[in-house]
């Protein structure tokens, strides 16, 4: 499945700057996370790289919290897809915080307009995307709740919509 970047989004990225990643950047991520980068993520990063979003282009995504036998759907907006170097800084920060329990194979590749993080699986048979909301994190217990976003990075990008929240 290929990326379906709306023309206005691509034009915005071209105006504001795209920073494509190199093969060495992707290799560094794989080395640090101990697993292969999802093919769609690597392809996107080498083609478009670090990009910013704006509310006038499609930047909204839905995520689902599964709580026992019920689910709760919410929406958020992505503000930036980080460069590999930026993603690793956030990865290290999350790993070094004893009150955050996120699996080692999840890379925080993007963020919302606050401090929420979008995470993608590395070295797994799947390449699911999750959302972690910093503001709603249970800082007392350190219990980390992840919301499910998409089955793949391609589905995440192609599923972006106008954010009306």
What does the pLDDT read at residue 43? 97
User: Domain residues of the chain, as ranges?
Assistant: 7-158
List the helix and strand counts (H, then E) for the chain: 5, 7
Q: Which fold has domain 7-158?
A: SMI1/KNR4-like (3.40.1580)
Taking residue 150's Cβ as centre, other Cβ atoms within 10 Å add up to 22
Tens digits of residue pLDDT in 6-26: 999 999 999 999 999 999 999
Q: What mean pLDDT comes out for the span 150-160?
A: 97
Q: Report the phi/psi class of residue 142: left, alpha or beta, with left for phi > 0 and alpha for psi in -120 to 50.
A: left
DSSP 83: P
Q: What mean pLDDT comes out for the span 85-109?
A: 93
What does the pLDDT read at residue 69? 83
Tens digits of residue pLDDT in 23-47: 999 999 999 999 999 999 999 999 9
Question: What is the pTM assigned to this prediction?
Answer: 0.93
What does the pLDDT read at residue 65? 86
């Amino acid at each position: 499945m290929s990326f379906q970047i709306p023309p206005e989004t691509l034009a915005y990225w071209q105006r504001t700057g795209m920073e494509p990643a190199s093969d060495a950047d992707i290799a560094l991520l794989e080395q640090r996370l101990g697993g292969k980068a999802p093919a769609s993520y690597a392809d996107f990063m080498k083609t478009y790289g670090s990009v910013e979003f704006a509310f006038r282009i499609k930047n909204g995504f839905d995520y689902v919290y599964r709580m026992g036998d019920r689910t709760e759907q919410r929406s958020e907006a992505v503000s930036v897809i980080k460069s590999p170097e930026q993603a690793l800084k956030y990865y290290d920060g999350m790993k070094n915080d004893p009150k955050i329990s996120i699996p080692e194979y999840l890379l925080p590749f993007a963020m919302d307009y606050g401090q929420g993080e979008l995470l993608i699986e590395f070295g797994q048979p799947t390449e699911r995307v999750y959302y972690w909301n910093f503001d709603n994190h249970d800082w007392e217990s350190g219990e980390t709740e992840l919301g499910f976003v998409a089955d793949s990075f391609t589905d995440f990008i192609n599923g972006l919509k106008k954010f009306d929240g």
